[in-house]
Every structure is written in structure tokens, then in C-alpha cells.
Amino acid sequence: IDPNAMKAYGVSVMDIMQAVKKSNLDIGAETIELNKVEYVIRGLGYIKNLDDLSEAVVTVRNNIPVRIRDIAKVSFGPATRRGGLDKDGVEAAGAVVVARYGSNPMEVINNIKKKIEEIAPGLPQKTLADGTVSKVTIVPFYDRTGLIKETIGTLESALSHEILIAIIVIIFLVLNLRASILISSLLPVAVLMTLIAMKWGGVDANIVALSGIAIAIGVMIDVGIVFVENIIRHLEMPENVNAKGKNLVSVIFIATTEVSSAVTTALATTVVSFLPVFAMQAAEGKLFRPLAFTKTFALLASFLLGIIVLPTLANIMFSIRFDKKRVSRIFNSILIAAGILFTIFWGQIPALALVLIGLNNLFESRWKESQKEFTNYINVAITLLVAVWYLTVEWLPLGAGNSNVLNYLFVAVLIASVLGTLLLIVHFYVPILKWALRNKWTFMSLPIFTILFGILAWQGANRLFGFMPESVKNSSAWNSFEHTFPGIGKEFMPALDEGSFLLMPTSMPHSGIEKNQEYVELLDKRLSTIPEVELAVGKWGRINSALDPAPVQMFENTINYVSEYILDEDGHRMGFKVDKEGSFVLTDGTTYNPERDGFRKITKEQLIPDKNGDNLRQWRPEIKTPDDIWEEIVHVTNIPGLTSAPKLQPIQTRLVMLSTGMRAPMGLKVYGPDLETIEKAGIELESILKEIPSIQSSSVFYDRAVGAPYIEIKLNRKAIARYGMTVEDVQEILQVAVGGMALTNTVEGRERFPVRVRYARELRNSPEEIKKILIPSMTGVQVPLGELVDIGYTRGPQMIRSENTFLNGYVIFDKIAGKAEVDVVEEAQKFLKDKIDSGELVLEAGVSYAFAGNYEQQMRATKRLAIVIPISLMMVFLLLYFQFKTITASSIHFSGVFVAFAGGFIMLWLYSQPWFLNFSVAGVDMRNLFQIHTINLSVAVWVGFIALFGIATDDGVIMGTYIHQVFEEQKPKTVKEVREAVLIAGKKRVRPAMMTAATTIIALLPVLSSTGKGADIMVPMAIPTFGGMIIQIMTMFVVPILQCFWREGEAKKLEKESLILEK
């Protein structure tokens, strides 16, 4: 609007506002009927173009209408800008897609991609002067597809490795191909049944859900081992050697029912032990509840197969009889022929195995009668060698840089060392148990010491022995003791490696749109110079959505970095063709050798795919982990005028911001009566937090609440009253003339655009011009705003935060590497309390603070687990009581929980020790291979312990069941008879127990060595089970010894009673 024209025509701003509002209106006037036909009446008055609005009448002067075009200029203009997007230093237009609550992310992403393909042909395009066609394209800059596929791929690899290892262990320990096939067939079928149950139950397949299957592998295979091993044991009895038909069915039925109750109890304890996971709430509940469902599905599937399908298959398999002399040559000739065919169509390894097995069977008749078993052992050995080879090729623990033969030897030695140790225990079990039964207290000192050591590793020296005098605490021996046993740190959740970072610095509160655009361009340009960064897209301010209430001074730079190795669509490493010298052959005929030619960027398109080729590393030699990339990011983004930013990732950030409102995983919320008081306290707390050793001082920053420059217009109420005006009159004119009030909206199909009235920019871009705005009085006189108000400069808030009706501000910070979140917060709490107590920190009246972030989540989850874990353990104990009917027996078998619990904490302690596995094999550091680093006690680790609790009682339950059966049969009355009965029962159970332990321990090795996406969560869950199962082997001695304590006591009572009766 033109104030001079308004003055000439005697028109006020209010008149123009009314004219604009009344110029844009459609109405409905009911209907009329013509010739018995009903017509709907509409009055069309919506604005269609600029001329429609220009012709709107404001008033009439001297019978001449005054139109809007006479006093204003009507034109198209942009909306107020509060944000912007930049890609690699160039401004771009962008959009954000929000998924519906509860929808499947992968499905949403795929639908978005389909929709982009649909609308792509209709996007604007133009032909340039040189004939080139320039077209608008939609390019995703943040897409979770790769992350989802990589995490699933990581777990698929781990599961396949676990299944292969289980088969290897079974073949090695059972030494019976029929039985091995029976047990091994359980796993893939049970996994398929679990996936079907997940589909029916609506459980999405993600990294955590599928981890439930990985954790359950040991228990699943235990079901098959117990049933099949007992069936074989019964069939090998002299009276059952030639059992056929109904006799065979009867033997299998007896063998199955003999252990079915024990297996049922063992599985029930495992399922019940997972009830705390179902009881989890908030973020941890959403994350781990699917894991509890999948593990339960897997256990139920294995139980149904074990109790129904395995006995049926055993009956079929062991009832097969044929004339070996007649069939052997034909069958083995087919095997040899199949091996030759496989050489052509499949590969050399399986073909060679089939040929060797066929030849071995053909030459069976040449063995002496006493050596006939050698044929079976040779077949088992051939099968083992092939299975280990396939595991090696899939796993490649020493990396693609070392040959398959070297990897094969490493895997073979690793498996053989574990199996060899367990076989030695099996071989010497009886003499060791005999000695232990004679020296019970001497042996029991070992599990007692283990439990005490586990508690020390968990709680730490200072917490357990903090009562020691200061003279002891100041000694060098105590310092060394405390350093060795600091206790296990606590955190909410291990961070998932998402393959991208989110950099969230802020500029000064007074920085404007132009300056912030410069900042985001500079950030993206600098980030693009890092070779590992694939794409850098920065956003300043907010998108046009209520979901993004960010001020213009806030930045979000999404940084996608390339994976360490080139991956396929499913997240698996790709192999590429190399020549004899180990150089990669490029599509243009040249070669590239990283060691010889130095690092340079090579794309997937430049390489020739070859499944038997080498993997290409995309990171520079000095970049070892994503943390190194973050250090590069921090270095290049150190720009004057921008604050530092904590290390964040996109998903992690959204979760933290949704739960706490802060842009950091750790922070301090300062509450107070007003913003100035809060800011003063926040700045003081910021300076104190920088002094804390465990906090990264460069990351500490108080989000300034006050600091944005304001132009305040104070109304002079006496002057306003003098001209007969109201406050509303003045404020409304000011809002329209300077801010531009949206008075109406044009209707253009499904789109709506606001119509705004305001002064021209040059008439409102300074306080002096604002003073000239004309305000109409009741007498019709136009009064300049300057006569009615006082204009001044001041500082004010750029954003006002409140929580629970209290104003607040945030002090964000980050921990130094190697420190646990909860430990850092507890140290900060003590540090601030000491400052307050000493008078160095004085908070004004009404000011308080509270630590927030992941610390809050961890404390909430810990309180919940502290209630539900004891309840679940009590339920496990009740199940044991229902099985054994006595509290004593139940307590004996429950003791395995404490031993395994200690083993889990000892393994966590070992992971924090710098000397643990500190050696290399073939140039590969074992600490890097098995991800040896400090693991904090998080919800993921507790889930691993919960899984361990159920497994820990399984062997004890089945061992105890055997002992009870033997005691029922023999009814020993003397100490000697009791020990003999315990030895008999222990000897029966030790082999399947060691098979279970071996399967669980070895199967977790590929999980512990996983480096793909999702391994950050899988490894902490696996460590307690791995450590607990190693120590849990001790229960094979503890349970019989405790049983002996109990039974000998009863036997001695009977002896005394009989002596008294005799006397």
C-alpha cells in the first residue's frame, strides 16, 4: 500500500483491509426449480487473478470509486522465510516425509520411491541454449533403506554362521551322520516356523527382533541334542540293538518321555525368564519386545519339533534296513557320479566330498570287522571339513586380505580348541567328579570365588570396599586395585552405527537469514572435502511444519559417509576382479592398487564384480572407525560464529529430541522464574561443567535463551487516548503495515494462498520509516505512529521453552571417549553439589536444575528391571519347584543362575582390560576381530543377562532329572551308594551338556566378531551369554556336588536312625 495515495484519497489501512476481505467470497443461495428441474445457485466471487483484486473497491469519492490499484500495488510475493536447504554448498529445495505411527518403515520408503517414479515425468523441465534439457529431479538425501538392509544382512550372516557351527559341533560330537541329520534338521525348520509366527503375530523383521533367534540357537539345538542323544543311548543298549517295528517305536517313546518333562521345564524357565523384556516400557520396550516374541516363538517351535517331529523322523530313519552288499555299490556309484556332475554345475568342494564319501563306502568291505567303524568316522571327517570350509568362506574372520586357506586354518583351530577343551572335560569328567565328591568344600571354593569375583567386577573395588580407611585408599596398592576393578559403567543403550551423522551446531541468536545461509553453505562445502563423506545436506531453520519448531539459528547437517567396503543392495560385501598382483581391474582396462597407488576414490561402476574377487576398502588407511570420520568432521566444521555440536546420528537424535527436547544425548535442564535468571544460572553451570574431567569441555554449551535483538514499540496510552484511539486499533495497523496480516486466502483447486496487506519494504525497513506509518483516528485524521509510541532496541528470547509449567533452558554436553553416560552424570552431580556446598556456586531463589537425556531413560529402565527381574527369577524358581517338588532340589538347580551371572560380568570385565586378547594372527588384531572394548551395562546387556538366566538352569534341570531318576531306581542308602548314583547320572548327562555348551559358545563367535550395521547392539547382548556359558560348564560339577551334600545328609540320618534302632 502507498501511504501518500491513502492520504490523498482519505483512505485508512482499515478500509483497505475490509475491501480485501470482501473481495474474495463464494456463496450458495439454495436452489430454484425450472421446468421441474432443480438448479443449485452459486455466487462466484473468488479471486482468480491479480486484476480481480486490483479492481476491488475501497471507497467512493465524489461518485468515483477508489479501487485497490489506485492506492496499492498488487503483486505475487514469497511467504516469510524461516528455513533453507543446502546440498554440497548449493541451495536446493527439499521436503520431509513423515511416516504414519506404527507403519513399517521399509514399506513406507518403497511406496515413496514408487510415487517419486510416478511423478518424475511431470516435473518441470526446459531446454537450454546449447540444447541440453534441464529437468527438476527428486533425489533422496536421507534414506534408511541401506541401513535396514545392512542390519538385516549382518544378522542373516550371523544366523547362517551359527547354524553352520551348530551342524559342525553336532557332527563332531555325535559321530553319527543319521543322528546329526536329525538334530541339524531341527534348526532350519524351527527358524522357518519362527518367521511364520512373526508374520502371523505382526512382528517386523529388524535387527533386534531377529537377534531373538540368534540368542535362542543354543537352546533350540539343546532340545534336539537331548531328545536324539537319549534315543541313541537307548538304541545302543544291548536289549535294543536290533529293535524293529513296534519295539523300535516303544524304545523311542520311552527315550522321549524320559526327558520330555525336564526339557519342558528347561524351556519354560527360559521363556519365563524373558518376561521382564515384555514388561519393558517406552523406547526400550518398543526396541526389545519384538526380541522377546521371536525368542519365544523359536523356543516353542523347537519344542514342538523336538517332541513331535524328531521322534517320528527317528523312527523312520532308524527303521531303514537294506542289504548293504546289493545296495551299497549302486548308492555309492550314484554319489560318485553326482560328485562329478556337481564339479561341472556347482563347485569343486562339495563335488570332491561326495566322491570321497562314495569311494570310502565302496572300500568299506576291505576293512577288518573290528575296523568297520572307521568308514563312519572318515565320512564324518569329510563332512566336517566341508562344513568348516563353507563356514570359513561365509565368515572370513581374518578378512578378505588373507587367503581362504589361512582363514580355514584359523576357523578349524578355533573350533577344535573349544571342542578339544570340552572333550577333555567329558573324558576326565568321572575322575574329576569323583575327586570333587570326596573334596566337596575344596571344589566348591571355585564357584564361590567365581561368584565373588563376578560381583567385584560388576560393582568395583570402591563401591564394595569404600569403608576402608583413608590411609589404605591413599596407598599405591589400593590405587592399582581400584584401577583394575573400577566397576562396570552404566548407560541407556549402545549407539547403533547408522552410517550417517547429524551435525547440529547453532549460530548466535542475532544472526539473520542471509548469514545463516552462508553458514550452511560453508559447512556443506567443508564437509564435502572429506573423502569418506558421500553427501552433505544442511538445513537451517525449520520446514513449514509444526513437527519442526527450530529457530533460524539452528542447523541440521545430514552427513552420509560411504561404508568401509563396497556393499551390495542387501548389505553384503562385494567382490571385485583382481589381477595376479592383487590390483583391482577397472572397466577402462587400467588397474588400481591401494598400497601401490595410494588412496583415491573408486566407484562401484569403475570396478568389475567378481564373487571370488577381493573387497575394496573405501576409507583412507588412517580412518579405522566411524569415530575417526567424526573427528574429521569436527575439525573441518570449526567455524567462528558457530557453536560446537555433540556426536549425533539421525535416528538417535530424533529419539533423544522426542524424549527430552534436547539436541544432545546428555544435558542439564535449568528451571527458573524468568528467562534472565535462567540464562545467568545456565552460563554459570556451563563454565563449571567444563571443569569436570569426564566431560568433553568443547561440547559444553548453554543454549542461549536471551540474545535475539528486538525492536520494541511501546505504546503511549495518553497520546492514543488523546486521538480517540484504542490499543487494538494501533496494534492492528502496525501488524498489517509491517508484518503483513493474512486477510483471506485464494482458492485455486486444492491449493490455498494467503492474501497479505503491508507497506512496501522501503517504507518499513527501519525504525524511522515505521514511525511514519499512518494511524487513522476517530475524527478521520491520519496520525503518524511516531506520535503515539516510543521505539527502542532491546535483547529478548529467540525461543521460549517450558516444562511442567516452568520456564527452562538447556546446557548440553558430551562425555569423553571410554566413559559411561550414567557415571559421567553421577560425577557431574557430585561435582555440582560440592560446588554448592562450598559456596562456589550460588543459585538464585527459584532456580533448580536436573540432568536429562539418556540418563533419565537409563534410570527409568533400571527401576523397572529392578522390579521385574526378581519376579521372573522367582517364577523360574517356582517352575523348578514344580519339577522337583522340594525346595532343596530347586535351590540346587537354581544355583546355576548365580554362577552364570558371575561369568557374564567376568567377561564384561575382561572386555575392558587392555591385555585381553592383545595379540595378532596373520596381521589381524584379535581385539579388533572380536570387538574387544569397554562394554557398559546397558539395557541391551541386561537383555543378554535375562537370556542367560533361562539357559543357565537348563543343564542343571536335565542333570537333576537324571539324578532323581537314578535315585528312584537304585534308592541308595549309604554315602558310597549316593556318590555312585550321582556319578552314574552325571556320566549320562555330561556329553549332551557339553554339546549344548559347545554349540552356544562357538555359535556366538561370529556374532562377537560381527562388524556390520547392527553389531553394536548384537555384541553387548551376546557377551553375557558367551561368558556365562563358559563359566556355566562348572554347574556340571556343582549340581552333582550339591545333590551329594543333600543326599549324603539324608543317608547319614538314615544310618543314624538304623543304628539307634539296632541299639
Q: What is the pLDDT of residues 482-539, one digit of tens each?
A: 888 888 888 888 888 888 999 988 888 888 888 889 999 999 999 999 999 988 999 9
In a domain, 656, yes or no: no
What would the 3-class secondary structure string for 5-37 be?
HHHHHCCCHHHHHHHHHHCCCCEEEEEEEECCE
| Mean local confidence (pLDDT), 356-377 | 64
Q: How far apart are CA 310 and CA 224, in angstroms?
A: 8
In a domain, 262, yes or no: no
Handedness of CA 405, 410, 415, 419 (dihedral sign): positive
896 three-state secondary structure: helix
Averaged confidence pLDDT in the chain = 83
Q: How many domains does the chain have?
A: 1
State yes or no: pLDDT of 331 exceeds 60: no
104 three-state secondary structure: coil
State yes or no: pLDDT of 325 exceeds 60: no
Global pTM value: 0.81
Q: What is the pLDDT of residues 426-475, one digit of tens each?
A: 888 888 888 888 888 888 899 899 999 999 999 888 888 877 787 777 88
Range of the domain at 742: 3-76+708-797
CB 554 within 8 A of CB 641: no
| Mean local confidence (pLDDT), 896-924 | 88
Q: What is the pLDDT of residues 233-284, one digit of tens each?
A: 777 777 766 667 677 788 888 888 877 877 787 778 778 877 788 888 777 8
Q: How far apart are CA 467 and CA 455, in angstroms?
A: 17
pLDDT of residue 652: 83
Task: Compute, in degrees rounded to 10, the torsion defined by CA atoms 10, 15, 20, 21.
Answer: -170
State yes or no: pLDDT of 327 exceeds 60: no
| Mean local confidence (pLDDT), 73-77 | 89
The number of angstroms, rounded, from the C-alpha of 1017 to the middle of its chain's C-alpha atoms is: 5
In a domain, 441, yes or no: no
φ, ψ at 131 (rounded to 5°): 90, -5
Strands (DSSP E) along 758-830, which ranges?
A: 774-776, 782-784, 789-797, 801-803, 806-813
CB 56 within 8 A of CB 67: yes
**CA-to-CA separations, 519 to 641, 643, 803, 1035, in angstroms, rounded:** 9, 12, 31, 63
The number of angstroms, rounded, from the C-alpha of 84 to the middle of its chain's C-alpha atoms is: 31
- Show the cell assigned to 395: 565368515
| Mean local confidence (pLDDT), 761-767 | 85
State yes or no: pLDDT of 336 exceeds 70: no
In a domain, 749, yes or no: yes
Percent above pLDDT 90 for the chain: 5
Other C-beta atoms closer than 10 Å to the C-beta of 449 total 11
CB 993 within 8 A of CB 1036: yes
pLDDT of residue 905: 92
State yes or no: pLDDT of 365 exceeds 70: no
pLDDT of residue 436: 87
In a domain, 722, yes or no: yes
Q: What is the pLDDT of residues 706-761, one digit of tens each?
A: 778 888 899 999 888 888 888 888 888 888 888 888 888 888 888 888 998 888 88
In a domain, 680, yes or no: no
- Show the cell assigned to 908: 564384561
Strand 666-672 vs strand 806-813: parallel, antiparallel, or unpaired? Answer: antiparallel
- Show the cell assigned to 285: 520396550
CB 387 within 8 A of CB 171: yes
Segment among 19-33, 110-124, 463-477, 803-817 with least mean pLDDT: 463-477
State yes or no: pLDDT of 368 exceeds 80: no
State yes or no: pLDDT of 347 exceeds 70: no
CB 515 within 8 A of CB 507: yes
Q: How far apart are CA 971 and CA 436, in angstroms?
A: 22
Helix (H) or strand (E) segment spanning residue 606? none
Percent above pLDDT 70 for the chain: 92
Q: What is the pLDDT of residues 914-937, one digit of tens each?
A: 888 888 888 888 888 888 888 888
Helix (H) or strand (E) segment spanning residue 1063? none
Report which of 80, 59, 83, 81 is spatially closest to residue 71, judged by C-alpha positions: 59
| Mean local confidence (pLDDT), 292-318 | 84
State yes or no: pLDDT of 326 exceeds 60: no
Q: What is the pLDDT of residues 192-228, one digit of tens each?
A: 888 898 888 888 877 788 888 877 777 787 787 778 8
1011 three-state secondary structure: coil
Report which of 876, 961, 946, 936 is spatially closest to residue 216, judged by C-alpha positions: 946
pLDDT of residue 310: 82
pLDDT of residue 1058: 67
Q: What is the pLDDT of residues 102-151, one digit of tens each?
A: 788 888 999 999 999 999 888 888 888 888 888 888 888 888 888 888 88
Rg of the chain on CA atoms, in Å:
38
Other C-beta atoms closer than 10 Å to the C-beta of 816 total 13
560 three-state secondary structure: strand
pLDDT of residue 526: 92
Band the pLDDT of 898: cuts 50, 70, 90.
confident
Q: What is the pLDDT of residues 971-1014, one digit of tens each?
A: 777 778 778 888 887 887 787 777 777 878 888 888 888 877 77
In a domain, 224, yes or no: no
CATH number assigned to the domain comprising residue 749 = 3.30.2090.10
Q: What is the pLDDT of residues 950-973, one digit of tens each?
A: 777 777 777 777 777 777 777 777
**At which residue does the C-alpha cell 573387497 appear?**
615
Q: What is the pLDDT of residues 618-660, one digit of tens each?
A: 888 888 888 899 989 988 998 888 888 888 888 888 888 887 8
